[in-house]
Amino acid sequence: MPSKIFDLIEAEKQRQKNGLEMIPSENYVSEDVLKALGSILTDKYSEGYPGRRYYAGNRLIDEIEIEAQKLANKIFGTIYANVQPYSGSPANFAVDLALAGPGGTVLGLDLPSGGHLTHGTKVSFSGVFFNAVNYHVDKDGRVDFTEAEKLAQEHKPKLIWVGGTAYVYRYEFKKFAKIAQSCGAFLAADISHVAGLIAGGSHPSPTPYVDVITTTTHKTLRGPRGAVILITPKGFKKDSEITKRIDQAVFPGLQGGPHNHQTAAIAVAFQEVLKPSFKKYASQVVKNSKILAQELMAGDIKLVGNGTENHLMLIDLTSLGYGLGYQAQVALETAGITVNKQSLPFSDEKGKNTSPFYPSGIRLGTPALTSRGMKEKEMIKIAGWIKQALGEVKGHDLPKEKTSRAEFIQSYKREALKNKNLLRIKKEVEEFAKKFPAPGF
């Protein structure tokens, strides 16, 4: 059944198979998760919640949704789960809506400090519809708790977010709980990046310390794209109406009918998370990340915070030149290694910051590689290729003149495609990657 779309899907499958996916928020799902996601459950409308739907025919959908909720609570030790958010950003919007209210003050980690767009950035709903205040990281890339505490006292937020997308340390939930208590705020942990590590026992759990947890299900949790909102015993004690408020914010507050195929696939992924093999996976993700960081640093690559405590690391390219993040992303992609360009905390201070589109760093991690069965030995090999590829970026500084940047990147892309060293690495990477089949393929 040839069609343009199926041909493109097949080509993308080959790309994923032949390369090394190192964007730390990506992963490979199992065949079972894919099966549930591609099932006929997508045909059904189910506005409402189990036992209280607006349409008929939802007896079996109710069972699926209840099962997904039960599994989520079992994994995270929570008391209530809303499994309907379409993805992470709507989940966070619903929490802001429920607990801060329109125009309410929310305090979250600044974007270049490693925070998420939805934790209070001016260009997202969180900065448009809420009064967003940001805390930052200190010179080592760690949360500046003195500043966070000061901001909490000064602005009296209704809701504080802990979590981020480019943070290399373990989250210190207990310290945030103290700050939230001191100003009477709700505390929400967005654990999207580290949820799988928490579930597998390789990162401390926020459950004893926060009121609400949000997480996407497609990162370290290895599920389909989607998200859940969880209520902790602490959150329920603080506000017995909290589950109702969250449910109402998701539907009808923000969304329409839930994506039942997605809910079923989340439940399938959660069943996999509860297997003993997932514990090993989570622990190997961190081991791989640490050895990769160590090898890169041994090769004179600078990392924010000099390493990592989780699944990701941030390469600081400022010692190699000006604004090299985009060029590094292009060079590595040409070599078959997919990472993402990344703003660095404090590059402003050094006078070297450019813009989020042309930043000075890259972010990479090990969740997807670990799902393919790669271990320490393989990380050492991969670190070698990364070092070689980054060597090719030196001397290709971003123009200071903003208007010439787009054309410069286009011309750098053309040049990279002809770079013999990058093409040689790509061949080696392909041979290597084929030996590690991806789950679900």
Q: Pick the closer one to ligand DSN by CB: 23 or 185.
A: 23
The nearest distance, CB 193 to ligand DSN, in angstroms, is 6
Least separation, in Å, of the C-beta of 399 and ligand DSN?
27
389 vs 401: CA distance, rounded Å: 26
* Nearest residue relative to ligand DSN (C-beta): 25
Nearer to ligand DSN, 166 or 183 (CB): 166
> CA dihedral in degrees (343, 344, 346, 352; nearest 10)?
-70
Nearest to ligand DSN of 193, 245 (CB atom): 193
Q: Decide whether 25 or 69 has the Cβ nearer to ligand DSN.
A: 25
Q: Are 412 and 406 in contact (CB under 8 A)?
A: no
Query: Quick one: 88 or 361, whose CB is closer to ligand DSN?
Result: 88
Task: Give residues in contact with ligand DSN (CB under 6 A).
Answer: 25, 88, 116, 165
Phi/psi of residue 119, each to 5°?
-95, 20
Q: Is the peptide bond before 85 cis (omega within 30 degrees of 0)?
A: no
Q: How far is the CB of 25 from ligand DSN (least distance, A)?
A: 3
SS (H, E, C) the chain: CCCHHHHHHHHHHHHHHHCEECCCCCCCCCHHHHHHHCCHHHHCCCCEECCEECCCCCHHHHHHHHHHHHHHHHHHCCCEEECCCCCHHHHHHHHHHHHCCCCCEEEEECCCCCCCHHHCCCCCHHHHCCEEEEECECCCCCECHHHHHHHHHHHCCCEEEEECCCCCCCCCHHHHHHHHHHHCCEEEEECCCCHHHHHCCCCCCCCCCCCEEEEECCCCCCCCCCEEEEECHHHHHHCCCHHHHHHHHHHHHHCCCCCHHHHHHHHHHHHHHCCHHHHHHHHHHHHHHHHHHHHHHHCCCEEHHHCCCCCEEEEECCCCCCCCHHHHHHHHHHCCEECEEECCCCCCCCCCCCECCECCEEEEECHHHHHCCCCHHHHHHHHHHHHHHHHCCCCCCCCCCHHHHHHHHHHHHHHHCCCHHHHHHHHHHHHHHCCCCCCCC
Minimum distance, C-beta of residue 7 to ligand DSN, in the bound complex (Å): 27
Residue 349: CB minimum distance to ligand DSN, A = 24
Residue 39's CB: how many other CB atoms inside 10 A? 13
Q: Which is nearer to ligand DSN, 12 or 431 (CB)?
A: 12
Tell me the catalytic residues. Answer: 45, 47, 190, 216, 219, 225
Considering the complex, state which of residue 224 and residue 235 has its C-beta at the smaller distance from ligand DSN. Answer: 224
Closer to ligand DSN by Cβ: residue 25 or 260 = 25
23 or 179, CB closer to ligand DSN? 23
Reading phi first (left if > 0) and then psi (alpha if -120 to 50, else beta), residue 275 is in beta
Q: How far is CA 80 from CA 219, 229, 241, 243, 299, in A?
A: 21, 8, 12, 7, 47
Q: How far is the CB of 146 from ligand DSN (least distance, A)?
A: 27
- Min CB(106)–ligand DSN separation in Å: 17
CB of 220 to ligand DSN, least distance (A): 11
Least CB distance to ligand DSN at residue 427 (A): 28
Identity of the residue numbered 341: K
